[in-house]
Amino acid sequence: MLLIRCPYCEEERPELEFRNAGEAHIARSANIAGESDDDFEKFFFIRSNPKGIIYERWRHMHGCARFFNAVRDTVTDKFIMTYKAGEPKPAKLPGASK
């Protein structure tokens, strides 16, 4: 069971309190009705599915109920950081070299 830091509660809590909500930083177009089939496919179906660093969303379901973002290594399942929804994708990860 993973231990996840909720950036709103500012606490590490067990995975049982959270629900994974898929890849992060996939914005819904403000003009979604006008998107092409290709763009809609990219938005809703295509996923990075990286072996390594993933930017993903979690919800602190049985806690503050907020959605937030996390950076995790999918090979080790180690969390690198978590941050609030709406914050930009971090330009640099803690511990990563330039």
Partner 1 sequence: MKKYSVFAIAREAMRGHKGWEAQWSSPEPKKEYDVIIVGAGGHGLATAYYLATVHGITNVAVLEKSWLGGGNTGRNTTIIRSNYLYDESAGIYDHALKLWDGLSQELNYNVMYSPRGVMMLAHNVHDIQVLKRHVHANRLNGIDNEWLTPEAAKEFCPPLNISRDARYPVVGAALQRRGGTARHDAVAWGYARGASARGVHIIQNCEVTGVKRAPNGAVTGVETTRGFIGAKKVGVVAAGHSSVIMNMAGVRMPLESYPLQALVSEPVKPVVPCVVMSNTVHAYISQSDKGELVIGAGTDQYVSYSQTGGLHILQHTLDAICEMFPIFTRMKMLRSWGGIVDVTPDRSPILAKTPVPGLYVNCGWGTGGFKATPGSGHVFAHTIARDDPHPINAPFTIDRFRTGRLIDEAAAAAVAH
Partner 2 sequence: MIEAFRIPGAGRLKQAKTARFSFDGQAYAGVEGDTLASALLANGVHLVGRSFKYHRPRGFLSAGAEEPNALVQIERDAARKTPNVRATVQELYDGLTAQSQNRWPSLSFDVGAVNDIASPLFSAGFYYKTFMWPKSAWKNLYEPKIRAAAGLGVAPDQPDPDHYSARFAHCDVLVLGGGAAGIAAALAAAETGVRVMLADEQADFGGSLRFESGARIEGQDGFAWAQAAVAKLRAMDNVRVLSRTTAFGYYAQNFVGLVERIGDHLQKPGRDLPRERLWQVRAKRVVLATGAIERHMVFADNDRPGVMLASAARTYLNHYGVAVGKNVGVYTANDSAYAAAIDLKKAGVNVAAIVDLRDNPTGPVINEARALGMEVNFGRAVIRAGGKLRVSSMTVQPKNGGGERTIPVDAILMSAGWTPSVHLFSQSRGKVAFNDETKRFVPGTYAQDCISVGACNGTDGLMATIDEAYAAGTKAAKDVGAKAAKSTKPKIDASESWSRGMLGAAPGAGPGTTVKAFVDFQNDVTAKDIRQAVHEGMHSIEHVKRFTTNGMATDQGKTSNMHGLAIAAETLGKPIPQVGLTTFRAPYTPVTFGSIVGHARGELFDPTRKTAIQPWAEAHGAVFEDVGQWKRAWYFPKPGEDMHAAVDRECVTVRTTAGLFDASTLGKIEVVGPDAAKFMELLYTNPWEKLEPGRCRYGIMLREDGFIYDDGVVGRLAPDRFHVTTTTGGAPRVMNHMEDYFQTEFPHLNVWLTSITEQWAVIAVQGPKSREIIAPLVEGIDMSDEALPHMSVREGKICGVPTRLFRMSFTGERGFEVNVPADYGQAVWEALWAEGQKHGAGAYGTEAMHVLRAEKGYIIVGQDTDGTVTPNDAGLDWAVGKKKADFVGIRGMARPDLVAKGRKQLVGLKTKDPKVVLEEGAQIVGDPKQAIPMKMIGHVTSSYWSQNCGRSIALALVAGGRDRMGETLYVPMPDKVIEVEVTGMVFFDEKGERLNG
C-alpha neighbours within 13 Å on the C-beta side of residue 81: 12
Residue 3 contacts which entry, partner 1, partner 2, none (Cβ below 5-8 A, type-dependent): partner 2
33 in contact with partner 1 (CB under 8 A): no
- Position 77 contacts partner 1 (CB under 8 A): yes
Where residue 77 falls (left for φ over 0; alpha for ψ -120 to 50; beta otherwise) is left
Of 25, 47, 62, 89, the residue at the interface with partner 1 (CB under 8 A) is 47
Among 7, 54, 71, 82, binds partner 1 (CB under 8 A): 54
Burial 25-54 (b: 16+ CB within 10 A, else e): eeeeeeeeeeeeeeeeeeeeeeeeeeeeeb
Q: Interface with partner 1 by CB under 8 A: which residues?
A: 1-2, 15-16, 19-20, 22-23, 37-38, 40-42, 44-51, 54, 56, 72, 74-77
